[in-house]
Amino acid sequence: MQNYADLEHRPRIVRIQEVKEETPTVKSIVFRDDRCSKGKPGQFVMIWIPGMDEVPMSLSLIGRNGNSGITVRMRGEATKALCAMKAGEQIGVRGPYGTYFNVGQETKLLLAGGGTGIAALAPLIELPIMRKKDSTIVIGARKKAELIYLNRFKALHPMKKMRLIATTDDGSYGIKGLASSVVNTLLEKERFDMTYACGPELMMKTVLDAAQKMGIPVQFSLERIFKCGVGICGSCSLGQYRVCRDGPVFSGDMLQGISEFGKTKRDSAGRIIPI
């Protein structure tokens, strides 16, 4: 008899529908997959690039007209190969896996995405329930050419109470400086009910400290090196957690007392290295 449990974690082969250039080094890859279209904001998928590798990616598009997608920054071999793929080619998809961003009764929200970290937040920002919220979105990048989704979020403006703030390290667009500095100033001056963030861990550590000082709860999406993606191999350990299974979305309470957060991580050989 067929054991369907065994099939649960096998990659499903999907055909790429569209490849969109977000910046010269970041591409969004759109595909159709029933399970992904039922995924939740903040969850990730394991993407298999045939003949190359399998890498974790946040779902950056969930079920829009039946389409789902990921947004990939070229970093090493696998992400470069993924970014070179064209519509019509095939990739493997496992998941969606992991915890997700929760939206409750809170009304005034702060959402901060650094670099491609905004990919994990985009499906959250686009949830229908967010139209009823008063949200401030901060997106940061090193320079204007690296800012992603500006037009995607600007298109939401008429629909809801939404403030969009862009920051660039070199001042080529929006506010000059780090997204975390803007977020910290906002946290000091205004009263938010919840802060969501995804980006470089040092940014999130700074935001966590500021939010906790003001007594504001947080939900952060974290990255570690993932191999299995399902809690078996331990390559994604963070304190007592396995980021793939207990995260990638963590509350501030979960991160409280985790001395590694914002300081160290494991490299692909499992060695502990500074962030």
Q: Which residue is nearest to ligand FAD (CB)?
A: 76
Gap between the Cα atoms of 248 and 58, Å rounded = 9
Residues 54-93: x where in contact with ligand FAD by CB under 6 A, - otherwise, as a string:
-xxxx-x---------xxxx-xxxxx--------------
Could you tell me if 131 and 160 are in contact, meaning their C-beta atoms sit under 8 angstroms apart? yes
Closer residue to ligand FES in complex, CB, 73/242: 242
Residues that bind ligand FAD (rule: CB under 6 A) add up to a total of 24
Q: Does 171 bind ligand FAD (CB under 6 A)?
A: no
Out of 31, 48, 153, 226, which residue is the one contacting ligand FES (CB under 6 A)? 226
For ligand FAD, the binding residues in 16-45 under the rule CB under 6 A are 44
Closer residue to ligand FES in complex, CB, 204/238: 238
Q: Does 78 bind ligand FES (CB under 6 A)?
A: no
Q: Does 231 bind ligand FES (CB under 6 A)?
A: yes
Out of 69, 229, 247, 248, which residue is the one contacting ligand FES (CB under 6 A)? 229
Residues that bind ligand FES (rule: CB under 6 A) add up to a total of 12
Q: Does 45 bind ligand FES (CB under 6 A)?
A: no
Could you tell me if 226 and 97 are in contact, meaning their C-beta atoms sit under 8 angstroms apart? no
With helix as H, strand as E and coil as C, how does the chain read?
A: CCCHHHHCCCCEEEEEEEEEEEECCEEEEEEECCCHHHCCCCCEEEEEECCCEEEEEECCEEEECCEEEEEEECCCHHHHHHHCCCCCCEEEEEEEECCCCCCCCCCEEEEEEEHHHHHHHHHHHCCHHHHHCEEEEEEEECCHHHCCCHHHHHCCHHHCCEEEEEEECCCCCCEECCHHHHHHHHHHHCCCCEEEEECCHHHHHHHHHHHHHCCCCEEEECCCCCCCCCCCCCCCEECCEEHHHHCCEEEHHHHCCCCCCCCEEECCCCCEEEC
Q: Does 230 bind ligand FAD (CB under 6 A)?
A: no
Closer residue to ligand FAD in complex, CB, 186/238: 238
CB of 221 to ligand FAD, least distance (A): 7
Stretch of 5-13, 50-58, 140-148, 182-190 lying at the interface with ligand FAD (CB under 6 A):
50-58
**96 interacts with, out of ligand FES, ligand FAD, none, CB within 5 to 8 A per kind:** none
CB of 55 to ligand FAD, least distance (A): 4
Using DSSP bridges, classify how beta strands 194-198 and 175-176 pair: parallel, antiparallel or unpaired.
unpaired
Q: Does 237 bind ligand FAD (CB under 6 A)?
A: no
Out of 33, 126, 146, 223, which residue is the one contacting ligand FAD (CB under 6 A)? 223
